[in-house]
Chains A and B, each alone.
Chain A
Amino acid sequence: MRLVEQTATQLLAQLNAGEVTSLELTRACLDQIHRVDSRVKAFLRVRSDAAIATAEEIDQRRKNGQPVGRLGGLPVAVKDLLCTAGEPTTAASRMLEHFHPPYDATVIARLRSADAVIVGKTNMDEFAMGGSTENSGFFPTRNPWDLQRTPGGSSGGAAASVAARMTPLSVGSDTGGSIRQPAGLCGITGLKPTYGRVSRYGVIAFASSLDQIGPLGQTAEDVALLLEVIAGHDPLDSTSVARPVPRYTQSLREPLKNLRLGVVQEHYGEGLNHEVAAAVREAINVYKSLGARIVEIELPHARYGIATYYVIAPCEASSNLARYDGVHYGHRADEKRLITELAVERARLEQASDQAGLDRLDNALVKLYRRSRAEGFGAEVKRRIMLGTYALSAGYYDAYYVRALKVRRLIRNDYDAAFKSCDLIVGPVTPDTAFNLGEKSADPLSLYLVDLYTVTANLAGIGGIALPCGMSKAGLPIGFQLQGPAFTEETLLRAAYMFQQATNGHQHPPAIVTTNA
């Protein structure tokens, strides 16, 4: 098997044994990117030189017998939502096209000190708003299984990078399903940790109470390895939780005895593709064969999940994105032109003695705000800023935001009740397999519905993992999801590992990897 097709765990063993160098591996990944990414478009930027320099430095240390970090020179791709010091970090927005943060996100710092080789920054929906990576301010990413289709989103680039074997691991973010959904659509494994498990410092905020950074890889074992490195309390993030980080990779191989898996009947109702339903049922049967007990549970408020999410997330987003006003950094509209236009307009109104028009006329500052934001943000981002601004306005706040918070509490209570009778909840991760690019662009609501099975975990703050469980007749991956109570990543990973030991769906790469272009 080619180097790039192997799992992170296999590669790490070879790195540590001296059978392969980080430089060889990094070059192999860069070659693979060179070979396929002109078609997949997973990367916004590839850091070839920097990655090679890092790999060489790690190899040198290993050669000298000096300590090498946990990731031992493994190449990793990172969603362009995480700040990398001195290098562009754009959140796939024109607004931040030229933004170079002077600091590393805590997760980036942890990756560096664990001796990961960061090979590039991956594409995403602008500010992580979307589920197809088509909302990128630069270009859409394509699904390595079918280039006419979406890889999902918003961490579409991160998922495609692993699926097309451009990197063994990647880091994404999940606000309403943005790791799990693309992992499912790309046939890889992706984990959204419990809120507070991983630091958000240096992660460009979309919806702060929902955002969580997580790992993507080919297998649960790979994901466990990466989570072990990025998880943990961060004094720079007040919402990160001071709980010890378990050695996920060590407990992974212990099978779960007497596992009780919760199944929600509503998950199999209208809207779920029958091929997906069948594959998920088959996955449940695998667990049964491994000794798991299936428990019927109810999440009565889950059906309000999408509505609740699309109030809370835009409210927080409208606030988080207020800082992009063209004054301090980011895109600024052409000031000279703006001031000239303003003068012309003023003169026209004065000549017409249009006092009402003059009263309405923006001053230069307000016009600068308006135009910089109009030019810098894409349509979906604007839509959500408007939704959030409206919902937070006087007179609407209680009807929307406060009510959404109440439903959020009910959703959380549902989970608490459900987890009294089961250890994990099993179900679909997406209602369908990957859709065609452009298919849902005209109807934002239909795109919002792809988050149906994932948003509730974000609203409840719990963890979830998506992993492959089969292929559709059209040759597209189908994934399923496990959700667990807060801080049970260990259980989620062990359950996913059990499944992957018993099946082999996850070992099969897309044709783009194995055929020559």
Chain B
Amino acid sequence: MPPYTLIIGLETHVQLSTATKLFCRCSTKFGALPNTQTCPVCIGMPGTLPVMNREAFELSLRTALALNCSIHQFTKWDRKQYYYPDLPKGYQISQYDLPFSYEGWLEIQAPLSLGQGNGAGAEGSAGTATPSPQHAPPQRGRGSLVSKRIRIIRAHLEEDAGKSTHDETAGVADSRIDLNRAGTPLLEIVSHPDLRSAAETRAYLAELKLLLTYLGVSDCNMQEGSLRVDANINLHIDTPQGKIATPIVEVKNMNSFRAVERAMEYEAPRQYEVWQETGQKLGDVPKQTRGWDDVHERTYGQRRKEESSDYRYLPDPDLVPVTISAEKLEQLRATLGELPAQLRTRLESTYGLTAYDSEVLVNQGRELVDYFVQLAELCGNGKQASNWMQQDVMRVMGEQHLSIAEYPIGPAALAELLKAVKAGELDTTRGREVLARMLVTRNSAAVVIQDLGIEKVDESDMYALCQELLNANPKIVDDLKSGKQQAAGSLIGQAKKRNPNINPARFREILAELVAREPTS
């Protein structure tokens, strides 16, 4: 085990899914021809003025509430000033010292990593991992998951910049600027440095993305830049002289969850090596910015010259401060609906699911959970419904790239089948056959069962068939008697050939009973 702890905090930029930009009425749609979704306001023409998009502000408020943040009753806009060609006004409208929200938390299901060793005690000194909420056990269902609260420092709203592309082909450097994105609403969510591993970092991002998806505030598409992550990472190294913090490094340009995870995995040993070489501690050198190279899977130092530390923040005199009433907040809180963490708890307590199963279902999104809940209610068995959802419904969805809304069989029709299986009218294997035909014919379970000639086999018929097969296969009887259980399989196979409606589980029981009665040859 390496003699250090990873300390990671994330700054996540979320593009809000409003129809129009934050301070003008241009469309935010992705993929349009460059500079076609612009107007005098978002390209910063002289004399133009910003007007706040109320919808963007409400989506931000909802997100902050879902992140358990406190909300400032009064918030203002500030200009963050720097020069760059994709920033047409020479400043970005953002929020500096009075963000609309602060001090929240997000609970994640973190994989219990080796570094975390025996619980929170070892890391408790960092004062970061706060205790799990009351009632929730520290360790959930699947042994390897542990509940952990990641604290949020603040969430604030700001406008996006445009996009610069640099073409170095043909030996002629050519820079182009697309301002379609300029002015798009971005919610910046800043976490405390509470994350302790690459896997935790990924779990935080996955939970955050899930929450945002449930809230419907963003499509969270990382490839299209709707979700952008910057990580601040350093090490706390245990030395005989005590704990030493290394300089903080900011890693940018990570365009997938995997990239974030890999970048964190790459940075930890790299920073340890740097420390071993230089002995540099936090505060000895300015914060370094590194980019992530996805092809070579490594981080690289970025030039410091273009970094500006003094943004000369100025309250934006073109925008009036926003006041948020308590009534408005309550009204918005009521629109949040059931969020992933609450939903998992409900699936576990109401339908008896394991933490693992509730996690799998909830991660699929609210619509799939709605489907599951209907199915469970109609068939009367949560565990059975969960199994069929995961092994059958989600498999087909994956193979055929369907959303749950596009899945051809509704919960009522599927529940009919599940009830028949539960009642022993057919076994699970035959049930799957029925479901496969239902998908093709769109007929009800009852019709398909009839079409396939499935009917429950009489007990006496099964005894008779079993005895007949045993008589014909004395060798198998010997094998079974001597404990070779796999021999039963071939007999069950023969039985199913004779009568496909045989329930193999019941047949196996009958077989055992009859073999026990057989004299040893």
Contact = CB atoms under 8 A, between A and B. Distances in A.
Interface residues of A, number: 45
Given A238-B319, A319-B90, A319-B314, A325 B49 contact: no
A322 B81 contact: yes
Interface in A80-139: 82-83, 89, 91, 96, 99, 101-103, 105
A324 B229 CA distance: 31
Contact of A235 (B48, B51, B317): B51
Contact of B318 (A105, A239, A365): A239
Given A316-B317, A322-B90, A201 B81 contact: no
A203 B47 contact: yes
A320 to B, nearest CB: 9
B51 A325 contact: no
Contacts of B89: 322-323
A366 B84 CA distance: 9
Given A101-B40, A319-B91, A393 B312 contact: yes
Given A239-B318, A316-B314, A322-B90, A99 B46 contact: yes
B85 A236 contact: no
A327 interface: yes
Interface in A375-433: 389, 392-394, 397, 401
Contacts of B318: 205, 208, 238-239
A204 interface: yes
B83 interface: yes
A30 interface: no
B79 interface: yes
Contacts of A101: 40, 45-47
Contacts of A202: 47-48
A83 B52 CA distance: 22
A98 to B, nearest CB: 13
Given A322-B90, A394-B310, A238 B320 contact: yes
Q: Which of B40, B81, B317 has the most CB of A within 10 A?
A: B317
Given A319-B91, A323-B88, A205 B83 contact: no
Interface of B, secondary structure class, is loop
A101 to B, nearest CB: 6
A78 interface: no
Contacts of B48: 103, 201-202
Contacts of A392: 81, 312-314
Contacts of A325: 83, 85, 90
A394 to B, nearest CB: 5
B49 A322 contact: no
A328 B312 contact: no
A103 B40 contact: yes
A315 interface: yes
B44 interface: yes
A83 B40 CA distance: 12
A205 B90 contact: no
B68 to A, nearest CB: 31
A459 to B, nearest CB: 13
Contacts of A389: 312
A507 interface: no
A321 B312 CA distance: 14
Contacts of A315: 314
B51 A236 contact: yes
Contacts of B309: 394
A321 B314 CA distance: 14
Contacts of A350: none
B50 interface: yes
Q: Which of B45, B90, B312, B314 has the most CB of A within 10 A?
A: B312
Given A89-B46, A323-B88, 4 more contacts: A102-B40, A201-B47, A236-B49, A322-B91
27 contacts: A82-B47, A96-B46, A101-B46, A201-B49, A202-B47, A204-B46, A204-B47, A205-B47, A205-B318, A208-B318, A236-B49, A236-B51, A237-B51, A238-B318, A239-B49, A239-B318, A239-B320, A316-B314, A316-B317, A318-B312, A322-B83, A322-B90, A325-B85, A369-B83, A392-B314, A393-B310, A394-B309
